[in-house]
Structure 1
Amino acid sequence: MQSALNRSIDKMAWPPQLHRVVRTVRSRNLFQRGQHIVVAVSGGPDSVALLSILHRLRSSWKLGLTAVHCNYGLRGAESEADQQFVEEFCQRLGVPLHVRRVEIGSRGRKTSLQAEARDLRYRVMQEIAEKCRADRIAVGHTADDQAETVLLWMLRGAGLTGLSGMPAFRDNTVIRPLYDTKRQEVLA
């Protein structure tokens, strides 16, 4: 039996990519009505689309939303422009935003700059999620990111483990609502 919430969502006039995200959320049980979600927003198209979609679901699903933006300052004026865009976008949506300036590459690095940035970003998101008492952390990985990850892991010799790629739901907290959505659909 379909709930009243699901029936009302099905009747809404939304673009196809929004319907795909709703199907992904439902089929993978990524979050429930009334939960609070911290959303990672870099300013790129995937994370902006994710926040836009969750914002459209906010009132009907009674979601709490908080955005997080990490500014590594690695690209100078471009990094500042990304931050300004995210600040203005979140203000326009009425979504609280936490911005963190994160310094990377200063320690004796044993991993790539990208891996260090990812690890710090997830730590920042986890810290803010705990502070906000959020139930989930949403990241904007798409089906294309999944395919790239599987290919990369296979090239590195990860074997069968690499074929699994990124999970749609990780550590009972991190979710990927765009998991079944292609990047081209996000850009549409």
Structure 2
Amino acid sequence: MQKKESLSEQSTCRLFIGIRPDDASQVFLEGITDLCREQLKVINASHIRWTSPANRHLTLAFLGNIQKEKVPHLKQGIIELAHSVKSFQSSIHSLNPFPRPQSGCLAVELLPNPYLTALNEKCQQLISELGMEPESKPYRPHITLARCKKGFRQLAPLSLDFPFLAKNIILYQSTPQVEQSHYHPFLEVNLYAE
């Protein structure tokens, strides 16, 4: 399956490559989010921006502002990549402020997984082949649940164990909005299944 949407009329667009959580993971993440909301009731939670289910994603590679003429080559590269990678299972293993205890991002992290690491590396290679600078920091797969400038120190880290099925690659366009950016799936391709 492949879905396509149109880009805005600007000369550049802010893009990243990610995986949309499967339905079971979305239900699990909603339950974790509800638990966090309940625990954070004791503080002024008006400054917390919760990630909507439609915006939840596992980032594979961040591209930033990209010239539109590169987009067709990027799309083709993602399609070829998706057709060469089997769907696979990973595991959500923790809930904590990300990437450090004092950070203003609350996320679930996934266990290191050779399939996920290989997929990230292939995305970085694609970016490099298109003449763009890939990210240099180590890959830590996570899904952001909320953001707050004051951080989430009042929440104790939580160990989790939930299967996460990776079955798609999505090229997202990030559009800034008043409360938080909206992540619009510009291209979605399923990983192949045996």
TM-score over 0.5 (shorter chain): no
Structure with more strand by fraction: 2
Give me the TM-score of the superposition, normalised by structure 1.
Answer: 0.29
More helix by share: 1
Higher RCO structure, 1 or 2 (CA under 8 Å, sep 6+): 2
